[in-house]
Amino acid sequence: MQLQNGSAHQEPAPDAVPIAVVQFAPQTDPAANLAALREHLRTAAAAGAKVVLAPEYSMFAVTRLDERVVAIAEPLDGPFTTGLSALAAEFGVYLVAGVVERTAPEATRISNTLVAHGPDGARVAVYRKVHLYDAFGHLESDVVEAGPLVAPATFTVDGVMFGMQTCFDLRFPEGCRRVAAAGAQVLLLPAQWIPGPAKVDQWTTLLRARAIENTIYVAAADQCLPRGAGASMIVDPAGVVLAELGDEPGVLTAAIDPAHLARVRTANPSLSLRRFAITERVSPEPAAE
C-alpha cells in the first residue's frame, strides 16, 4: 500500500489537524469494501490522521448505475453505515465515506450520500449529492435522486471546520463557494471520477481552482482504476499540491494548518472582497400537456 505524506512550505502549527485521504477500488460486495477500507484506515491512523476521507460509492461501485444500485441501497442505520461507525470508533478518527442510501422503504431511486462519523462512532454530518452526473454519456439521475438544497453539511475538529461536496459537484463553483462562505476551512470531496480523455487534467485543475478561489484546503478522495481515474490529492489554500497519488490504491496524509490558512487569506482576502451572493436556481416547471 502506498503512503504519501505532504506538508506546507512551513512547519505546521501545533494546532494543525492531520488528515488522510484513502484511494481504493470499491467492488460490488459492501462487506468486502468495508474490510478493504479498514486496512487503509489502519494505515491512516498509524500515520496520525484525525480525519480520514474515503471515496464516493465506497459501499458499492459499478461503472454504470442501474437496478443493482437500487437493490443494494440501505438506510443510514443499515449494516454498511453501521460498519463505518464502528471503524471510526475502532481507530478513533473522523471518517467520511460515500454510501448508497435508501431514504424510504418504497423508494425506486437512491441517494448518493456522504456520511461522517466521529471518533466515538456518532454520526456528525450527512451530505446528499446535489449535482448528478448527467454528463459524458452517463445519467446518474436515472437511479439517483438529487439531494435537497439545504445548508452546507459541516463538522468541526479541533476548531477546524470541514465541509463536504461530491464528485460532479466539483464542476459547480458556487456549491463549493457556499461551503467556504459557511465558514469551512477544508473542503472534503469524495469522488468516482470516471476515466476518459482529459478527465484527470480537468479533475486536478478544478481541485486546485476550488482551493485558490475560496482560499480553502481541498482534500479529494477518488476511486482508483478501473472505475475511477485516481489522482487523489490534498491541496493547500494557495493551490499548492501537498500530496497526490497516481491510479493505484494508497493513502495520502497532510496537515490542515490554521496558521498557514490565515497567512494565505491575509495575502489574498478574496472571500471578503467578493461582490456577488449565491442564490438557488429554481428549476422550471414541466410544460403542461
Q: Assess whether 167 carries a catalytic annotation.
A: yes
Out of 56, 140, 145, 244, which one is annotated catalytic? 56
**C-alpha–C-alpha distance, residues 101 and 98, integer Å:** 9
The amino acid that residue 41 corresponds to is: L
**C-alpha–C-alpha distance, residues 94 and 53, integer Å:** 8
Q: Assess whether 140 carries a catalytic annotation.
A: no
Out of 74, 167, 176, 244, which one is annotated catalytic? 167
- What is the number of other CB atoms lying within 10 angstroms of the CB of residue 236? 26
Out of 74, 101, 129, 224, which one is annotated catalytic? 129
Phi-psi region of 198 (alpha: psi -120 to 50; beta: other; left: phi over 0): left
CB of 199 closer than 8 Å to CB of 193: yes
DSSP string over 270-284: HHHH------PPPPP
Q: Assess whether 224 carries a catalytic annotation.
A: no
Q: Which positions are catalytic?
A: 56, 129, 167
